[in-house]
Structure 1
Amino acid sequence: MVGKILRNRYKIARQIGSGGFGITYLAEDADLPGKPLCVVKHFRPKNSDRSALPIAKSLFDKEASTLYKLGQLHDQIPQLFAHFEENDEFYLVQEFIDGHTLSSELYRDKQLSELEVSHLLLNILDVLAVVHQHGVIHRDIKPPNLMRRHRDGKIVLIDFGAVKEISTLTIDEQGQTSVTVGIGSSGYMPDEQANGKPKLGSDVYAVGMIGIQALTGLPPSQLPEDADTGEIIWRDLVQVSDGLAEVLNTMVKPHFSQRYRSAETALQGLLHAVGDALPPRPTRVILSATPPFSGISESGDRSTIETAASDRITIIDTASSSNSSTFLEMAMPSDPILAGASLMRGETSTAIEHPISSLNSPMLVSVRARTRRLSPQVLVLGIAGIGIAIASIWRAEFP
């Protein structure tokens, strides 16, 4: 497969993963400048009966449509670039995430602090809540399917389970279709999911197991269970606050009716229990324009902040904190000094902190900076003008 070009566009570079449901490749997109990397997922139907192909294709198109919509809703879900069929086999082309899986952070005997685990749960539940709000169940949440993106440290959800059903689709003698293998992973999959009846709360169970694994340093297979209730016994293995322990215990209740019903309700429970120790949640706002403003930077550059053109209006991430501030990221060629604003230099952009009156009042600004160096002649004339003005005032006060 390496070196093969799919759809006259995607050149397979190397295999990066495989399993019972398909193979994942790293590929180059030859149609775009610089041939950026992308991920190609290859699914081969288990049933060789061609009568199953139309059903498999219909299922594939449906799940691909769902993945596309989710990728547009949240930047912690990979975007879907294309999906197609070639030679009775199915392919997804998705955004390449430069990062590492959570498996490299959660290994045996490594215990994360309560604060670290709380941050991790917040990060996962925040994006999973968006998925659940659209009625979608991930069905295979586990450390290998959670990627820590290098550029910002956020957790990205990958490898949604529903599309994998294509590889397990079978047709019986009566022409009835069925899925022969349950989607999910042992240890992170609750009973109802193992029985082929997953619910939104099934994902919550998986996230809760990851939280317990992170705290105890033990994988799910090594965590003891109560023989009568089936509940996970972990509380005595680590010191943790009652609040977080209660949240995790609710997330991993054996029966789904006793669990949080969705990621959103689990997130609310987490914030209620340990919210004071957590960072502010990000809010997405649309930027509009502010009146022109000018300032001079410490380096002597003059930056003109002018009304943003319509093509500069973008959507960015902001975060409100306890001091009622909003952080806005924007690309600027210099560091202008704005009245009432402080500057923070990032890797690729300047963040300007603007005080706002309320946590529920998003700051709606978009600025564009133009920079030009002040010439020596202008500086000399400016200094001379100031001197003349001072002399005039002196003569007026002391004739």
Structure 2
Amino acid sequence: MQVYCTRPRGREQPPHINHVEEDYLNNGKMQQRYCSTCGMPLIIKNRYVALSEKGQGGFGRTFVALDLDSPGETLAQKRYRILKLLHPNTQLSPASLQLVERLFKEEAEVLEELRHNQIPRLYAFFELSVAVYSEYQIQDNSLSTNNEQKLFYLVQEYIQGQDLEKELLRLRSQENRNFSEAEILEVLSEILGILKFIHANPKKPLIHRDIKPSNLVRSGRDKQLYLIDFGAVKQVVQVVEEGADSSETVIISPGFSPPEQVHGKTVTFTSDLYSLAASCVCLLTGANPHTFDIPFNLEKWKTSANISPKLVKVLNKMLEPDPKNRYQSADEVLTALRREGILEVEKSKDKIIWFWGLLGITGLGTLLTLIWLLLTSKNPTPPFPPLSAEYFTRGEKSLLTPDIPQHFKNNPYCQDAFAKKDAGMKAFGAQNYQSAEKNFEEAIELFKKGLQSNPKTCYIDPETVIFWNNAKANNNNKAPFTIATVIPIDGKQEELKKFSEQLLRGVAHRQGNFNQVNNPTTNSTPGLNGRLMEVVIARDDNSQEISKRVAKHIINNQIPGDTRFKGRNILAIVGNFTSKVILAGAKEYHGKVVAVSPSSTAVRRFEKTPDSNYEYKLSKYVFRIAPNDAIAAKDLSKYIKNKINQNPTNNSGKITVFFNSEEIYSTSLKVSLTKEFDPNNLMGCDLFQKNIQSCIPLLQNTSFLMLSLGIGDTNLVFSALQISKVPSLGGDALYNDDKITTDDSNANLNENLANKANNLVLAIPFDVESAPESFKEESKQLWGTQKVGWRTAATYDALQVIIDGLQRQGNNPTRQGLYDVLSSKSAPFQSSGATGEIKFDYQSDRLVKPEDDNRLGVLVQVRDSKCKPEDKDDGVKYRFCRIDHEIP
């Protein structure tokens, strides 16, 4: 286990990272361990072990620590804490040191008394005397010296989540937006409630002094906001170092601190209200408030925020330069927001009045009877919020291209194709399936002409191909049978649109073969007993919450706004896309419907283990085409070990892993990679908890950088590649090589990223070059190229599995019958598709055998040259070239 030394060090000095065996820490009678560099005790107070460094500032450093005395038999069950080290920047006299102790203890005692469910609890405050880091000798893991330094520690509750500064960065990079008015009202409502509490603290009313987005943390567990990092702690240090009076305010966060705080004047409750409003301006505009000359110009910022004049009015009053002109309490702000009609009135008092009214009317005996009935009756399942019709389509509207993409407008054939698609959708919505089929078919022919005329301005829209097949299925003399596919498109992120197109190509390809009149693939009549297939396309916005709601609609055969779908039955699902999102949907699928995911790869683990806090309890009703992350980790470890063996003298053999603990895929790949290496040689940096800059010191003695990052982390990848000077590796989420999309800024590999990613090695589930010739030839006819990418091939196979499972049931297939076929032990399921032979193990995962090594689980490398000398020059600067065959 990696353990950080907590000794104070210079700002530019790298951390001292040590390794302590986990078995040793599990031992209740363990002896102290010391830093191998400076001799500092590693088990602070014989209880706390620093696992990572979260941040640093003028007052000291902050660590995430494991509390060895917390409940739990194993380390995986122990609790995490925040461990704050206080150390002044200057050498203190004995008198100043005593002042630090007194002030810090006073402030800590006040913080310890705070009991609010949205303020991290303070568990302990203590001082520690340790040997000064100078000339010393370590013998037998013990340290002796006459010189000591005194350190001060705070231990607080650890809130696992993301602060609003990082949340804003994520929104801007992934969704190209700032916080909305509704989101800001939620922030105001929660934080004002906390401020009401601390400002009225009976022991000592508190002023936070340092409210800003980075000190507002959204819990990953309950999504509540927490107010962290009270400025009182920092004030103690600055009082001593700068000689200020302890009643003065000396903490300054540019743009967020009010004028009185900046000028060293007395702060009041209104100072916190100012900082909260400044934080809201930052979240609404994406800029630091000082760029708008706040508070001396309260008009300028409004043009950069899309909010109502009523909210502007309230925020500007909170931002008044003179504290006397602001609201004087958090309660006043809440009242103003309700008076303006932009915040709901609290209803808790109404409930109390109702309770006592009921008591007066019914009498105590009747009321007790009612309470008993409530306690003993089963709670009904609350109805799920239904989704709008905009989340589903069979052919009446487009989820993929509600508007014609800009680059298509430069191609007249493509413009005409979209006009035909629009006519087809109108006909489909009117149940004129013959006309819809004709219009969709004509649209496809126009897309093909547009592609031939200029591949850079047009490609064949897969959604139109599915709509054409759906119209054909509904225009048949027998009612179609229905499959659903769930795509991650959200209408905002271009990356998710590209991935959605790749998935729909696979669905369209296999559906087209199945519905084909002369079916060369199966050499049989079209469809199943004369019934053709229609596909309902649903979108989950790559959101866990939306995924659950989509699943409910599918399970109940309820397509919002589609009254004509009544009486039909969705037999199975192709999807969802990411491991995180399908986990949420699978809780609804379990026992009700089979889902076959083409792209989820997180390793299933049904309980946490002593060496890892990771778990992934995915229902066995979810079958998966792509091999899981354990395969990718083995391929990458083989590559790394081969490189180390080639050059052992100039290679430390150490690997740094950048990962995102909030993303299941990222954590799964990181945990899988950990199993392949000596823990002494593997260092992790969680980019959900830290910024890139704080991870840089780990790269100083690193031979390889592993980017265990997922969908939506492009900016993190770009930043990491900019600072890294060592060979870099990654997983399949960083791969996008369908050779089809026309938008030059996104096709193949983003060139800005590619410039930094040259020679980046990625582990992917499958190489489409290994697909059967029939699949590649059909792909060329459908899409104009054979190189459709692994996600398209895997989605083709997901639908192939469903079709085979339904056909084996005879003329009347059912949902449960499909699960029974795919999971049968007596007659193990087997199919053949674009990615090879498909079998599933006992967990419903893709079964990978040694003979599959050349097909499943491959390595590719970004190169700025042709992969093979004989390759054609396709005008692409960067390519993904397969390299696993180059490794002995």
Within 2, Cα distance between the matches of 1:337 and 1:202?
49
Relative to structure 1, is the Cα distance of residues 278 and 210 closer, same or farther in structure 2, using a 3 angstrom cutoff? Answer: farther
Aligned to 1:152: 222
Match of 2:259 among 191, 201, 218: 191
Within 1, Cα distance between the matches of 2:165 and 2:153?
26
Match of 2:59 among 7, 14, 21: 21
SS at match of 1:106: helix
Within 1, Cα distance between the matches of 2:382 and 2:47?
41
Greater share of helix:
2
Deviation of residue 55 (structure 1)? 1.5
Within 1, Cα distance between the matches of 2:223 and 2:195?
17
What is the identity, as a one-letter code, of the residue corresponding to 2:126? F
Aligned to 1:126: 193
Aligned to 1:323: none
Aligned to 1:141: 211
Question: Are the aligned partners of 1:119 and 1:278 in contact in 2 as well (CA < 8 Å)?
Answer: no
Aligned to 1:266: 333
How many residue pairs end up in the alignment?
295
Within 2, Cα distance between the matches of 1:144 and 1:129?
20
Aligned to 1:315: none
Deviation of residue 200 (structure 1)? 1.2
Within 2, Cα distance between the matches of 1:207 and 1:293?
44
Within 1, Cα distance between the matches of 2:47 and 2:214?
28
Relative to structure 1, is the Cα distance of residues 10 and 278 closer, same or farther in structure 2, using a 3 angstrom cutoff? Answer: same
Q: Does 1:243 align with 2:284?
A: no
SS at match of 1:234: helix
SS at match of 2:178: coil
Deviation of residue 262 (structure 1)? 2.5
Deviations 1:247-294 (A, max 9, x none): 00001111111111222222222222234x548577999xxx955847
Question: Are the aligned partners of 2:83 and 2:154 in contact in 1 as well (CA < 8 Å)?
Answer: yes
Match of 2:98 among 54, 63, 72: 54
Deviation of residue 11 (structure 1)? 1.4
CA-based RMSD of the aligned residues comes to 3.1
Deviation of residue 111 (structure 1)? 2.4
Q: Does 1:255 align with 2:327?
A: no
Aligned to 2:154: 92
Deviation of residue 25 (structure 1)? 0.5
Match of 1:40 among 83, 86, 96: 83
Question: Are the aligned partners of 1:231 and 1:254 in contact in 2 as well (CA < 8 Å)?
Answer: no
Within 1, Cα distance between the matches of 2:238 and 2:284?
35
Question: Are the aligned partners of 1:193 and 1:199 in contact in 2 as well (CA < 8 Å)?
Answer: no
Relative to structure 1, is the Cα distance of residues 254 and 90 closer, same or farther in structure 2, using a 3 angstrom cutoff? Answer: same
Deviation of residue 105 (structure 1)? 2.0
Within 1, Cα distance between the matches of 2:68 and 2:85?
19
Q: How does 1:277-316 map to 2 (within 5 A)?
A: 277-278=343-344, 280=346, 293=372, 305=376
Aligned to 1:333: none
Question: Are the aligned partners of 1:101 and 1:144 in contact in 2 as well (CA < 8 Å)?
Answer: yes
Deviation of residue 239 (structure 1)? 3.8
Relative to structure 1, is the Cα distance of residues 30 and 222 closer, same or farther in structure 2, using a 3 angstrom cutoff? Answer: same
Within 1, Cα distance between the matches of 2:198 and 2:249?
23
Identical pairs, percent: 34
Aligned to 2:378: 337
Q: Does 1:31 align with 2:69?
A: yes
Deviation of residue 157 (structure 1)? 0.4
Within 2, Cα distance between the matches of 1:51 and 1:99?
40
Deviation of residue 6 (structure 1)? 1.2
Aligned to 1:162: 232
Question: Are the aligned partners of 1:99 and 1:150 in contact in 2 as well (CA < 8 Å)?
Answer: yes
Gaps of 5+ in 2: 6-16, 19-41, 73-77, 130-149, 353-366, 385-888
What is the identity, as a one-letter code, of the residue corresponding to 1:128? L
Within 1, Cα distance between the matches of 2:244 and 2:97?
11
Aligned to 1:387: none
Q: Does 1:104 align with 2:166?
A: yes
Deviations 1:291-319 (A, max 9, x none): 58479xxxxxxxx83xxxxxxxxxxxxxx
Question: Are the aligned partners of 1:16 and 1:25 in contact in 2 as well (CA < 8 Å)?
Answer: yes
Relative to structure 1, is the Cα distance of residues 188 and 12 closer, same or farther in structure 2, using a 3 angstrom cutoff? Answer: same
Deviation of residue 343 (structure 1)? 4.1
Larger relative contact order (C-alpha < 8 A, sep ≥ 6)? Answer: 1
Within 2, Cα distance between the matches of 1:145 and 1:18?
14
Within 2, Cα distance between the matches of 1:221 and 1:110?
20
What is the identity, as a one-letter code, of the residue corresponding to 1:8? N
Gaps of 5+ in 1: 296-303, 306-335, 347-399
Within 2, Cα distance between the matches of 1:238 and 1:53?
47
Relative to structure 1, is the Cα distance of residues 210 and 181 closer, same or farther in structure 2, using a 3 angstrom cutoff? Answer: closer
Question: Are the aligned partners of 2:212 and 2:279 in contact in 1 as well (CA < 8 Å)?
Answer: yes
Within 2, Cα distance between the matches of 1:188 and 1:345?
42
Aligned to 2:535: none
Within 1, Cα distance between the matches of 2:104 and 2:382?
46
SS at match of 2:199: helix
Within 2, Cα distance between the matches of 1:192 and 1:63?
22
Within 1, Cα distance between the matches of 2:234 and 2:108?
11
Deviation of residue 225 (structure 1)? 4.8
What is the identity, as a one-letter code, of the residue corresponding to 2:193? D
Aligned to 2:272: 203
SS at match of 1:337: coil
SS at match of 1:274: coil
Within 1, Cα distance between the matches of 2:43 and 2:305?
51
Question: Are the aligned partners of 1:47 and 1:170 in contact in 2 as well (CA < 8 Å)?
Answer: no
Query: How does the TM-score come out when normalised to structure 2?
Result: 0.31
Using the TM superposition, name which of 136-145 and 100-109 deviates more: 100-109
Within 2, Cα distance between the matches of 1:231 and 1:112?
19
What is the identity, as a one-letter code, of the residue corresponding to 1:38? R
Match of 1:80 among 98, 109, 122: 122
Within 2, Cα distance between the matches of 1:144 and 1:257?
27
Deviations 1:33-91 (A, max 9, x none): 23211011110134421211221111111111111122x1x100001110011122211
Deviation of residue 217 (structure 1)? 2.7
SS at match of 2:55: strand
Question: Are the aligned partners of 1:212 and 1:234 in contact in 2 as well (CA < 8 Å)?
Answer: yes
Question: Are the aligned partners of 1:187 and 1:220 in contact in 2 as well (CA < 8 Å)?
Answer: yes
Within 2, Cα distance between the matches of 1:241 and 1:185?
28
Within 2, Cα distance between the matches of 1:282 and 1:80?
29
Within 1, Cα distance between the matches of 2:255 and 2:186?
22
Within 2, Cα distance between the matches of 1:102 and 1:239?
19
Aligned to 1:67: 111
Relative to structure 1, is the Cα distance of residues 282 and 47 closer, same or farther in structure 2, using a 3 angstrom cutoff? Answer: farther
Question: Are the aligned partners of 1:118 and 1:274 in contact in 2 as well (CA < 8 Å)?
Answer: no
Deviation of residue 178 (structure 1)? 4.5
Using the TM superposition, name which of 83-92 and 234-243 deviates more: 234-243
Deviation of residue 145 (structure 1)? 0.7
Within 2, Cα distance between the matches of 1:154 and 1:223?
30
